[in-house]
Structure 1
Amino acid sequence: MTSQIITLIGVLAGALVSFVATHWAERTRFRQTLATRWDERKLDAYIQYISCIKEEVRTARQAVEASERGDDNTGALTAMETAEARRSVLFEGLILLSNDAAVDAARAVNERTWSLLEWARCPGGEASTRHRELSNLVIEALNSLHGAARQDLAMQHRSRSPGRRQTPAL
């Protein structure tokens, strides 16, 4: 009788250990799946937002160039305003998904982009030079956003040569 009780206790202990281990493994797997799903959404939000900023910079450049040539820049300005409306929506998604550092970096991108767009709407003398300066400020802000996004996504930073400036293609 004692041996049967010991056997029964052993079976119950084994079942309990098996249940706890399985439950812990499933819970860990669920958390990893959930984290991966949110990381994918974050990455998509970053890519879409940054792509939209690049589109705005490109269309602003087209508007300035058309204006300098004396051509009608209405089409470029319309495309620029459409991209700006899209950027506004994408920024809201970024706020919901990103950490504070990335949101702050995106806000800096917004402010510099708005300066660029304002200039493109009514350029003055030396339009190309000023546009280039404002574009470079947007690029610097984008570089900061890239770094914040990598940290938010827990990605390793690729090493670059010291002094080499990373500039995204606009």
Structure 2
Amino acid sequence: MATQIVTLVGVLIGALTSYCATAVAERARFRRELATRWDERKLDTYIAYVTCVKEIQRAAMEAGRARDQGGDATDALREMESSENRRSVLFETFVLLGDERAATAAHTVNQRTWELLRATRDPASGLAELRTVPLVEALNVLHQAARSDLAISRGAAGR
């Protein structure tokens, strides 16, 4: 009888150990999957946000170039405003998903983008005035912050 109890206790301990090990492994797997899912959303949001900023910059430069050449900047201004509307909406998602450093960098990009928008909306501004807005530098800081938030090293990104 004692050997049966020892055997039963051994089986129970084995089953409990197996259950605990499986539960810990499943929990770790779930956390990894969840982190990966959010990282994918972050990456998509970061790319969409930066794309809108670049579209605003490109359209602003087109408007400035058109003015310098005596042309009509209406289409470029319309495209710039449309991209600005999308950027504004994407920024909210960016702030919700991004870490503090990335959100701070995005705020700076917003400030520079607004400076560019203000300058471009001035009918007297040409390409030279628009190029003085330091938007590219702010975007470079944002890129670094986004890579850090997504744990993308410079070496891994270049492979």
TM-score (norm 2): 0.94
Cα separation, 2, equivalents of 1:60 and 1:123: 12
1:44-76 superposed Cα distances (whole Å, 9 cap, x missing partner): 010000011000000000111111111111111
Could you tell me which amino acid in structure 2 is paired with residue 156 of structure 1?
S
Matching residue of 2:116 = 116
Residue 153 (structure 1) aligned to one of 138, 143, 150: 150
Deviations 1:112-167 (A, max 9, x none): 01111111111536x22222221xx11100000011111111121349xxxxxxxx
Shift of 1:89: 0.3
Give the distance between the partners of 1:158 and 1:107, measured in 2 at CA.
Answer: 27
The one-letter code of the counterpart of 2:110 is N
SS in 2 for 1:133: coil
- Post-superposition Cα deviations, 1:55-105, rounded to whole Å, max 9, x if no partner, equal 000000011111111111111101000000000000000011001111110
Q: 3-state SS of the aligned residue for 1:71? A: coil
- TM-score for the superposition, normalised by structure 1: 0.88
2:123 & 2:78 partners in 1: Cα distance? Answer: 16
Q: Which amino acid aligns with 1:138?
A: L
1:42–1:68: structure 2 CA closer, same or farther, 3 Å change rule? Answer: same
| Divergent runs of 4+, >6 A | none
Number of positions where the alignment pairs a residue of Structure 1 with one of Structure 2: 156
Give % identity.
Answer: 53
Give the match's secondary structure for 1:146.
helix
* Number of the residue aligned with 1:14: 14
| Runs (5+) with no aligned partner, structure 1 | 160-170
**Root-mean-square deviation (Å):** 1.3
Q: Which runs of 5+ in 2 are unaligned?
A: none
